[in-house]
Chains A and B, each alone.
Chain A
Amino acid sequence: MTRWATAAGVAAAVLAAAVSVGVLTGAARGERTQRGEVIVSLDGGISPLKLPRDHLAPLAIHLSGDIRTADGSLLPRVTRIEIGLPVQGAVSTRGLPKCPARRLRNTKPPQALAACGGALIGRGNLTAKVFLPEQGPFEIHARLLLFNSRVDGYRGVVLQAYSSEPPIVVVLPFTLRHRRGTFGRVLVADLPKDLGPRPRLASFEMTLFRRYRYRGESRSYLNASCPIPPRLTAGFLTLARAAYTLSDGRQIGVEITRGCRGA
């Protein structure tokens, strides 16, 4: 690993830690949107903040979000998740190993990493609330591992969520789609029906970051610039959008804008 990669890795870890502290203390919840009783929030940031003005450079993106209800009622069931990333960035997968979803089924994280560590592009955590009839709700805390993959013939990401208590493994494939507009790269996942109606997504946090070498060249999964004129020292990135489709057909989304500095 190069010195730069080490520095970027440390920066990503510091960013993740800082945001995790924020999440744990409930300090910052980022931007919020409400539809009916459902409130979704999204927060996040990039590391490093300082990016080249005229060419792409590697970066880490940290995102955290949650779903709640204004009146504390039962969380809605999410049937589709979409994570939109800005069109001015780039996702590079050339030369990056791919991990098919089937390799991750019924595996614990160490086995998943042994099978697909070369394709790892991110980590995180997820909380789901499980509502059982005639019982109080309980929470499932799962570790997330995200791997580069090919899904239905398209570039994609396979997410593995592992909980030790109770022991559950969920493997969720996201396809990377291209759309018009600000958030031109969208990771889309349909939540499988076999998850059942009981578990409801409550919150997540993830950091996407991966440096790798291909044909002697150092590359990064995520790349972006801070394209601002020479006279400016800082600019804005419309960083991400999280959109959810609920089981009743309603859609709810929230987007965040964050600053960057020109190198």
Chain B
Amino acid sequence: MGRAVFLVMIALATGTAAAAEAPTRDEYVPRLEAICKPDALATERVSKGAKADIRAERFAVAARKFAKATAIYSSTVKRMGAVPRPEGDEAKLGKWFAYLERQVSYLKQITAKLRQDDPIQAQRLTARFIHNGNLANNVVLAFGFDYCSFKFSRYG
């Protein structure tokens, strides 16, 4: 009996702490933007000229740029995922993070296809990458993200 009461008290205390940790949406957005901004700018820097490289059939060079962009984005998504999410937005953000994970996967696949000198598959994956990015943006439209939202113009 005593042990059960103790466990209930622990559970209540944990729940209260978690609720206290959960930020509001207004607090959550700047926290994520602070993670995304330097990474988005770094992505622009490392991707510079990637599209021109593809045009000129320098696929290995483009692959190296995409690989760097993928590493940055993968790390960004991981750090974003670690930030506690606002109560009531969990489902929406869960859906958004699923899209973001898919974006990481597309970037990895595009990089691999460029390395394999297969621009046709890379192009098909790019179409999906753009479409998925726009879907991701629509899920969190009301959050008003800037640097955390998908913009294809960042990729070279």
Which bracket fits the contact residues of A?
20 to 34
Q: Please report the C-alpha to C-alpha distance between residue A124 and residue B138 in the assembled complex, in whole angstroms.
A: 27
- B residues 49-89 in Cβ contact with A at 8 Å: 54-57
Contact string against A for B residues 102-144, beta-carbon threshold 8 Å, 1 for contact and 0 otherwise: 0000000000000000011001001100100010011001111
- A residues 205-244 in Cβ contact with B at 8 Å: 227-229, 231-232, 234-236, 238, 241
Return chain A residues, CB-CB under 8 Å to B152: 236, 238, 255, 257
Q: Judging by beta carbons under 8 Å apart, are A228 and B55 in contact?
A: yes
**Known interface pairs A31-B137, A257-B130; A183-B144 also in contact (CB < 8 Å):** no
Q: Please report the C-alpha to C-alpha distance between residue A70 and residue B142 in the assembled complex, in whole angstroms.
A: 8
CB nearest neighbor in A for B126: A236
A182 within 8 A of B: yes
Q: Judging by beta carbons under 8 Å apart, are A227 and B144 in contact?
A: no
CB nearest neighbor in A for B156: A182
Q: Judging by beta carbons under 8 Å apart, are B123 and A34 in contact?
A: no
Which bracket fits the contact residues of B?
20 to 34
Return chain A residues, CB-CB under 8 Å to B43: none
Q: Judging by beta carbons under 8 Å apart, are B119 and A231 in contact?
A: yes
CB nearest neighbor in B for A32: B141
Q: Judging by beta carbons under 8 Å apart, are B144 and A238 in contact?
A: no
**Known interface pairs A39-B141, A236-B130, A257-B130; A33-B119 also in contact (CB < 8 Å):** no
What is the CB-to-nearest-CB distance from A252 to chain B, in angstroms, rounded to a whole number? Answer: 9
**Known interface pairs A232-B120, A235-B123; A34-B55 also in contact (CB < 8 Å):** no
Residue of A33, A35, A36, A182 touching B153 (CB-CB under 8 A): A182
Contact string against B for A residues 23-51, beta-carbon threshold 8 Å, 1 for contact and 0 otherwise: 00000000111111001000000000000
What is the CB-to-nearest-CB distance from B128 to chain A, in angstroms, rounded to a whole number? Answer: 12
What is the CB-to-nearest-CB distance from A86 to chain B, in angstroms, rounded to a whole number? Answer: 9
What is the CB-to-nearest-CB distance from B119 to chain A, in angstroms, rounded to a whole number? Answer: 6
**Known interface pairs A34-B142, A34-B144, A39-B141; A229-B134 also in contact (CB < 8 Å):** no
What is the CB-to-nearest-CB distance from A51 to chain B, in angstroms, rounded to a whole number? Answer: 13
B31 within 8 A of A: no
B151 within 8 A of A: yes
Residue of B120, B137, B153 touching A231 (CB-CB under 8 A): B120
**Known interface pairs A32-B137, A234-B123, A236-B130; A229-B57 also in contact (CB < 8 Å):** yes
What is the CB-to-nearest-CB distance from A44 to chain B, in angstroms, rounded to a whole number? Answer: 14
What is the CB-to-nearest-CB distance from B121 to chain A, in angstroms, rounded to a whole number? Answer: 11
Contact string against B for A residues 87-118, beta-carbon threshold 8 Å, 1 for contact and 0 otherwise: 00000000000000000000000000000000
CB nearest neighbor in B for A228: B55
- B residues 11-60 in Cβ contact with A at 8 Å: 54-57
CB nearest neighbor in A for B56: A229
Q: Please report the C-alpha to C-alpha distance between residue A235 and residue B134 in the assembled complex, in whole angstroms.
A: 17
13 A-B pairs with C-beta separation under 8 A: A32-B138, A32-B141, A34-B142, A34-B143, A39-B141, A70-B142, A228-B123, A229-B119, A231-B57, A232-B119, A236-B130, A236-B152, A241-B153
Q: 8 tightest CB-CB pairs across the interface, nearest first?
A: A182-B153, A257-B152, A227-B55, A238-B153, A229-B57, A34-B141, A35-B144, A34-B144
